[in-house]
Amino acid sequence: MEAHQPHWSPDGKQIAFMAVYPDSRYKMCLISPDGGEYQEVFPGGGQEGAPTWSKDGKKLVYGDVFSRQDSSNMSIHVFDLTSRNASTLPQSSGLWSPRWSPDGRYISAVAVGSPPAVLLYDCTSQKWTRLATVDTIDDEPTWSGDSAYIYFISSDSGLSRYYRVRIGDGRTEPLISLPGNSLDPWGGVTPDGVPLVSRINRVQEIYAMHVEWP
């Protein structure tokens, strides 16, 4: 299988990730940092997107798989690791790629549409607000450790840009701009707030071959 988008549990004892099996099933899984056997969080039918943890480590938030259904049928779900029950967040239709903030106050999600947007779910009031609207949003937004910013990659019109949006007022700042699709959709933030990006370097070569056919 392929393993995508790993996220540490708050206590550092588990890693949650999205597994993509050879038969194209997408499943949430858990594994110890020491290795060993992984476990499917939600065995059986259904498909789950990338999971992230609640502040207390007792729940996982995840979305539906974008490529498997019409965007209007996607929603955001929370899986309780204690009760083993899943619930759907209210008014989350058409949203995907959720991320729980480190302080546990918010869940961010990406609205699929034209143009796309970053939305925030307040876990106390249980209401959504639109935080930022941009031309494109790649599917791996990342919270800063202090829960003050969300970072994301936008690739469009021959440019790759790395943005951050401030939670307090929705101010969106471009941090990096590179020509072409040169930034990988993944981005991260160090514990002291330094942005991390993965740059794509491609090499193309032309070969001439002389073949002697039998």
Q: Are 100 and 113 in contact (CB under 8 A)?
A: no
Q: Where does 123-214 show beta strands of DSSP type E?
A: 127-133, 142-143, 149-156, 159-166, 172-179, 183-189, 195-199
CA distance 177 to 180: 10
39: its two tokens: 């476990």
3-state helix, strand, coil in the chain (%, to 5): 5, 45, 50
Residue whose structure tokens are 């007022």: 169
Distances (CA, A) of 110 to 34, 47, 184, 192, 211: 33, 18, 18, 25, 52
Kindly list the domain boundaries of the chain, sorted by start residue.
1-90, 101-214
Q: Give, for all 214 residues of the chain, the pLDDT tens digit.
A: 999 999 999 999 999 999 999 988 999 999 999 999 999 998 876 789 999 999 999 999 999 987 655 666 789 999 999 999 999 999 999 898 999 999 999 999 998 777 788 999 999 999 999 998 877 777 688 999 999 999 988 877 678 888 899 999 999 998 888 887 777 777 788 888 888 888 777 677 888 888 888 7
Neighbours of 44 (CB within 10 A): 6
Could you tell me how far CA 65 lies from the centroid of its own chain? 11
| CATH superfamily to which 101-214 belongs | TolB, C-terminal domain (2.120.10.30)
